[in-house]
Amino acid sequence: MFFRLILKVIYLKTSILNSKNHKEMGLFNNLFKKKEENTESTTNQSNNTIHFTSENDFLEKFGALALEKQRNLFEITGGLSWNVDMNKEEITFGDDLTFPMQVLGSFSHSSETWLWLWENKAGGYAESVMQQALSLKKYGEENNIELLSVGKFDAVPNDLHLIGMVATMMFNLSGYYLGNYGQGTMVVTIKDDAIDKTESEEFSRILTVFPELISTFEIQNHKDAFSNYLSQKGFELTSNGNEVKAEKNGQIITATFNENNLLTNLNGNS
């Protein structure tokens, strides 16, 4: 099997994050547009091994793994209708896929603003359904990350994905879901063993996930993001100038970067 992907890297100053009118790509677009998880218990304790000091730091360290989790979730829930029961703190997909959930907040389509659930005083929501949101607020305050600590702010759809991805990694979740209810979109998180055990062909998944990550988010150092991702996947890395080779079980993925550490070429063969 041979995969080859050539990416023409441009400076991302004019990329997705700098435009409120951008079109989200691939999986992100599907999750945001469709009204569409199960777990015996929702995890609210943060993962002490996850530490980051900025949005970019998170994306470089954990963004690819978070996106990979979303693909597993989408294989279970993609295309299904969804319904939320705030009293039971559950989300249901289709007729019978019901999962415990946590709610992080919501995005208003009219004002294009994000509102954390803990800031939504008028909602009267139980504190139990926002435990993860409160933990993220605390982490944001301790590490000066406004995305997590400011109750309401102007936002673009990618901010919702980033918030969901942060929660996914911080609490070792199966993923997050963006539920479009017309006037806005709510972000909920899900944890379920069946989703976590969803199998995929690792080699081709990596060659899909990493390009999608750097195409969707403005990441300063693609080389660090790639190295972190492949190391977390158990690959052995060797570096030679601007080239990084990752090898595992006879499979080899080679990435080449320019002088600004932006990806220019990605090859995989097994």
Indicate the domain borders of the chain: 2-8+201-269, 25-196
Inter-residue contact 240 to 75 (CB < 8 Å): no
- pLDDT on residue 201: 80
- pLDDT on residue 6: 36
Query: 229 burial class (0-12, 13-18, 19+ CB within 10 angstroms)?
Result: buried
pLDDT tens for each residue of 24-70: 334 444 444 433 333 334 467 677 689 999 999 999 999 999 999 99
- pLDDT on residue 43: 60
- pLDDT on residue 202: 85
Helical spans, DSSP H, in the chain = 26-33, 55-77, 131-143, 146-149, 157-170, 193-196, 202-216, 222-232
- pLDDT on residue 29: 47
CA 32 to each of CA 54, 56, 63, 187, 269: distance values in angstroms, whole numbers, following the listed order: 24, 22, 18, 10, 33
Burial letters 86-96, b for 16+ CB under 10 A, else e: eeebbbbbeee
CB contact set of 89 (below 8 Å; sequence gap of 6+) = 42, 100, 101, 102, 126, 128, 129
- Rounded distance between C-alpha atoms, residue 154 and residue 20, angstroms: 10
- Rounded distance between C-alpha atoms, residue 154 and residue 113, angstroms: 4
How many CB atoms are closer than 10 A to CB 260?
Answer: 12
- Rounded distance between C-alpha atoms, residue 230 and residue 169, angstroms: 16
- pLDDT on residue 269: 86
- The low-confidence residues of the chain, meaning pLDDT below 50, are 1-42
